[in-house]
Structure 1
Amino acid sequence: MDVLLVAVGGALGSVGRYWCSGLVARLFGESFPWGTVIVNIVGSFVIGLVAALALPEGRFLLPTNARLFLMFGICGGFTTFSSFSLQTLNLLRDGEWLLAGANVSLSLVLCLLATWLGLVAGVIVNR
């Protein structure tokens, strides 16, 4: 049952990633992989929020299957390190060293910040 929950959540997350990154690409263009950056920031925030809300002292003690569905399934399917890696390598291949460095830096810093903000938001909700 756990595998099915992760699979369904992953499918939903993947469809959400496809829709969201496509929307961002249409709005901002495709010269820089903003869609992947935004998806990974949002996914990082959500996983941090769910992790904080699901703590034993949290307001929403989620059962294991709900955590699997949300964190491993939806968030795992929604965020995409493989796309980030390929887009960064493509930028490097095209000689876009500055954009490749910006992609790595923005993704690392903003995703860590988003995860931390999600945890902080969850702690605030838990009060």
Structure 2
Amino acid sequence: MTEILYVMIGGFFGAIARFYLSTLINRITNSLFPYGTVIVNLLGCFLMGIVVHFLNWENVSALLAVGLLGAFTTFSSVQLEMVELMMKKQKMAFIYLFVTYIGGIAFFMLGLKMLP
């Protein structure tokens, strides 16, 4: 039961952080391409790599990895934006797909391996 509480707390803050950061980035870039979601997801993958590298503690892992970063990097936003770009017949949909998924894996590995 304690783990569920940690996931809830982390998820609460992760979702809020995702909303504000992606909204801010999208306002700054003012582009059809969803830079906010891409940057948030890449940052979240990088941070997840660091968390996985350093933490094996059950409660901290539940708070940070599953809760905070799980909510921060939700990929349901990616799916929505991908479909919207495809429906508008935007060629950038494929760039978005590549950057999000391949970039996410690369940034996760960077976060995992860059620290001793």
Q: TM-score range by the shorter chain?
A: over 0.9
Aligned residues: 115
Q: Which residue of structure 1 aligns with residue 106 of structure 2?
A: 113
Q: Distance in 2 between matches of 1:63 and 1:7?
A: 17
Q: List aligned pairs for 1:68-107, cutoff 5 A.
A: 68-96=62-90, 98-107=91-100
Q: List aligned pairs for 1:1-127, cutoff 5 A.
A: 1-54=2-55, 62-96=56-90, 98-122=91-115, 124=116
From the CA coordinates, give the structure whose radius of gyration is larger. 1
**Structure 1 moving runs of 4+ over 4 Å:** none
Identity value in percent? 32
Q: Distance in 2 between matches of 1:113 and 1:2?
A: 29
Gapped runs of 5+ residues in structure 2?
Answer: none
Q: Distance in 1 between matches of 2:75 and 2:18?
A: 12
Gapped runs of 5+ residues in structure 1?
Answer: 55-61
Per-residue CA deviation, residues 56-90 of structure 1 (Å, 9 max, x unaligned), is xxxxxx52100110000000010021000010000
Could you tell me how far 1:46 is from its partner in structure 2?
A: 0.5
TM-score by length of structure 2 reads: 0.95
TM-score by length of structure 1 reads: 0.87
